[in-house]
A and B are shown apart, each in its own frame.
Chain A
């Protein structure tokens, strides 16, 4: 039975943290921990969620949690899982929460190693599309056109020039037992995926898009609607990879306007119509690929 608001564990495990108001990442962490429950050990690398949750003596994780090195989320998770198993303890979840930089850039090698070994861990990437903790610098998951402090938007260059790295399919290419994309704008879908991942042995990966009001330039109350719109306009998608097959979980009947989604965020406000056309084209290419290769 799929977990929902009524059946969800009422205990809060991530509480009193110092994340910015309206933080999408903290929502993802909070909900995942409520789904996973008490017997969970969280590993968080240097990044937003560790910076806001572990300032001695303000310790905001109600269950076991530890900060890893920036590159070491997956490898520390491996150690936690193996260490408990070696002591005969097996009824628990080892979950990692790393941002986009900690996952797709500096932590990719360790993540790949863990998937290769098929360690029994759940790795959740909360993707806010830039190095937000250090003040909004470009990561390999920053989308095309986004202004960050290291991809400034000026007359010559209109923000970030590279496309968002395709982490979901990179992970899937390892033949991982389970991988999924999600968005905090579709929280029930995310909860279902965390619940499903928790029931599968081996390595699991969930990539959840989590807007950052500070870095994206939106109001603090817009996090959830923007996280929904990014899916509705087709710039993000909700899918799963399991048993070697991709499945699309949610197909918008008609895409909402990309321009509306982009222009509401100050990181995209400088984009010209030509820039937006490039984004639209790459979205369409992606969806052609999805329609061809994903089940529905």
Chain B
């Protein structure tokens, strides 16, 4: 284990290198570029033995990764924003084909208007594509997630592609001190990729076929089960990870001072760090507030959310996303979980950070203040102009 000063992108690239992918196919897009540049360097200097394919588009990036996975090779790609949308056709294709490809997505706003900064519209618009979706908070978690993502995706009970999301710039380009493991440790953690879902000359197969109305739903149900089974595998991966690397992760969510919290803020990604600071400050003032960070959105942590919220008096979601004409997608998902669990407390949605707009600690504090007043509804943070946003 060595300490290195790495950006989120670089940390993720190290994690990928330690996972020994056999094929990397990627197309550059801001703010993902550093990941693929770093991996190219690793291939050049011999520290990573992989086929690096310079594809001519994101669609080809994922199509190529599927080809590699279809013959049993470990495959990685990375993208962001417009690139994710350009490869969108391949997302449910990879999930339906049960190809356990790992992709890093640098969360970035989607055009129009053009904007290269971070929000989560890109990945959340693809929430239903059948991929596991995880959201890292910091560079250390990015590196660790890169390693764990292959373990989880390739597990025989799961066999599902994995999208690891890092907030654009805020996380991808911010430097932190990161514990970088050794290759030996990584190899101890992650076994070589083995699958029955492949073409081989020993056992020829036809893959990616059509399935008509009679049995299509069975294939789709099994795909769904793969994601549900990922819940247990994520736990297993984290236990195994802790035994080798000593760092502990907490599954689909991470609770921070939620046990006795009256007012709970649910969020995801890098903003969690600031929320944690606000929670600490308000706690010192005697306000019973807490944070629930969603580490995974698929599989959806419905049990973890209801367990954390059960004793709270009000709950809010803070997300860098809007499903136009409705509300934030994370909020919709959270509300569904609360409703099914029979939890009937005021809930509200705070949409902010779109196109990379900064969310301040005052704004976060205001959310907790609103919560104490049992405020409900959907609110846009900081739009000004006399608009309430509700």
Q: Identify the A interface with B (CB < 8 A).
A: 38-39, 41, 43, 50-51, 54-56, 59-69, 71-72, 74-87, 89, 92, 109-110, 112-113, 116-117
Q: Are B210 and A110 in contact (CB under 8 A)?
A: no
Return chain A residues, CB-CB under 8 Å to B153.
Answer: none
Docked Cα-Cα span, A203 to B29, in Å, equals: 27
Docked Cα-Cα span, A17 to B56, in Å, equals: 33
Counting CB contacts under 8 A, is B232 at the interface?
Answer: no
Q: Are B206 and A65 in contact (CB under 8 A)?
A: yes
Give per-residue flags for B193-218: 1 if the beta carbon is below 8 A from chain A beta carbons, else 0: 00000011100111111111001000
Query: Among the interface residues B54, B68, B205, which one has the most CB atoms of the partner chain A within 10 A?
Result: B68
Return chain A residues, CB-CB under 8 Å to B215.
Answer: 56
Return chain B residues, CB-CB under 8 Å to A41.
Answer: 71, 199
Q: Are B204 and A113 in contact (CB under 8 A)?
A: no
**Min distance, Cβ B95 to any Cβ of chain A, angstroms:** 13
| Segment among B59-67, B108-116, B161-169, B358-366 that sits at the interface with chain A | B59-67
Counting CB contacts under 8 A, is B356 at the interface?
Answer: no
Docked Cα-Cα span, A41 to B209, in Å, equals: 15
Using CB atoms, name the residue of chain B closest to A80. B67
Using A75-B59, A76-B67 as known contacts, say yes or no to A56 and B25 having CB atoms under 8 A apart. Answer: no
Give per-residue flags for B40-64: 1 if the beta carbon is below 8 A from chain A beta carbons, else 0: 0000000000110111110111011
Return chain B residues, CB-CB under 8 Å to A66.
Answer: 67, 70, 199, 206-208
Q: Are B206 and A79 in contact (CB under 8 A)?
A: no
Docked Cα-Cα span, A32 to B365, in Å, equals: 68
Using A54-B210, A56-B209, A84-B73 as known contacts, say yes or no to A78 and B53 having CB atoms under 8 A apart. Answer: yes
Counting CB contacts under 8 A, is B69 at the interface?
Answer: yes
Return chain B residues, CB-CB under 8 Å to A86.
Answer: 22-23, 50-51, 68, 73
Q: Are B55 and A83 in contact (CB under 8 A)?
A: no
Return chain A residues, CB-CB under 8 Å to B72.
Answer: 83, 87
Contact among B63, B67, B73, B206 with A59 in the assembled complex (CB-CB below 8 Å): B206
**Min distance, Cβ B200 to any Cβ of chain A, angstroms:** 7
Q: Which of B60-117 contact A (CB under 8 A)?
A: 60-61, 63-73, 75, 89-90, 93
Known: A38-B201, A54-B206, A79-B64. 20 other contacts (CB 8 A): A50-B210, A54-B209, A55-B209, A65-B199, A66-B67, A67-B207, A75-B59, A76-B63, A76-B66, A78-B53, A79-B68, A80-B68, A82-B67, A83-B69, A83-B70, A86-B50, A86-B51, A109-B56, A116-B56, A117-B53
Report 24 cross-chain contacts, Cβ distance below 8 Å, ordered by A residue.
A55-B212, A56-B215, A60-B206, A66-B70, A71-B63, A72-B59, A72-B60, A76-B70, A77-B67, A79-B64, A79-B65, A79-B68, A80-B70, A82-B25, A82-B67, A83-B51, A83-B73, A83-B75, A86-B73, A87-B22, A87-B73, A89-B201, A109-B56, A110-B63
Q: Identify the B interface with A (CB < 8 A).
A: 22-23, 25, 50-51, 53-57, 59-61, 63-73, 75, 89-90, 93, 199-201, 204-212, 215
**Min distance, Cβ B324 to any Cβ of chain A, angstroms:** 27
Using CB atoms, name the residue of chain B closest to A62. B204
Using A64-B201, A80-B71, A86-B68 as known contacts, say yes or no to A75 and B210 having CB atoms under 8 A apart. Answer: no
Contact among B23, B60, B210 with A51 in the assembled complex (CB-CB below 8 Å): B210
Q: Are B22 and A83 in contact (CB under 8 A)?
A: yes
Return chain B residues, CB-CB under 8 Å to A63.
Answer: 204
Q: Are A68 and B71 in contact (CB under 8 A)?
A: no
Return chain A residues, CB-CB under 8 Å to B61.
Answer: 75
Docked Cα-Cα span, A109 to B86, in Å, equals: 13
Docked Cα-Cα span, A74 to B200, in Å, equals: 19
Query: Among the interface residues B25, B60, B93, B215, which one has the most CB atoms of the partner chain A within 10 A?
Result: B60
Contact among A56, A65, A113 with B60 in the assembled complex (CB-CB below 8 Å): A113
Return chain B residues, CB-CB under 8 Å to A39.
Answer: 201
**Min distance, Cβ A162 to any Cβ of chain B, angstroms:** 25
**Min distance, Cβ B244 to any Cβ of chain A, angstroms:** 25
Return chain B residues, CB-CB under 8 Å to A67.
Answer: 207-210
Return chain B residues, CB-CB under 8 Å to A60.
Answer: 206
**Min distance, Cβ A249 to any Cβ of chain B, angstroms:** 31
Q: Are A79 and B210 in contact (CB under 8 A)?
A: no
Return chain A residues, CB-CB under 8 Å to B93.
Answer: 69
**Min distance, Cβ B208 to any Cβ of chain A, angstroms:** 4
Q: Are B209 and A72 in contact (CB under 8 A)?
A: no
Docked Cα-Cα span, A129 to B72, in Å, equals: 35
Return chain A residues, CB-CB under 8 Å to B204.
Answer: 62-64
Docked Cα-Cα span, A147 to B223, in Å, equals: 43
Q: Are B51 and A85 in contact (CB under 8 A)?
A: yes
Docked Cα-Cα span, A54 to B212, in Å, equals: 11
Using CB atoms, name the residue of chain A closest to B50. A86
**Min distance, Cβ B250 to any Cβ of chain A, angstroms:** 35
Docked Cα-Cα span, A51 to B211, in Å, equals: 11
Return chain A residues, CB-CB under 8 Å to B67.
Answer: 43, 66, 68, 75-83
Docked Cα-Cα span, A51 to B212, in Å, equals: 11
Docked Cα-Cα span, A248 to B217, in Å, equals: 52
Q: Are B23 and A83 in contact (CB under 8 A)?
A: yes
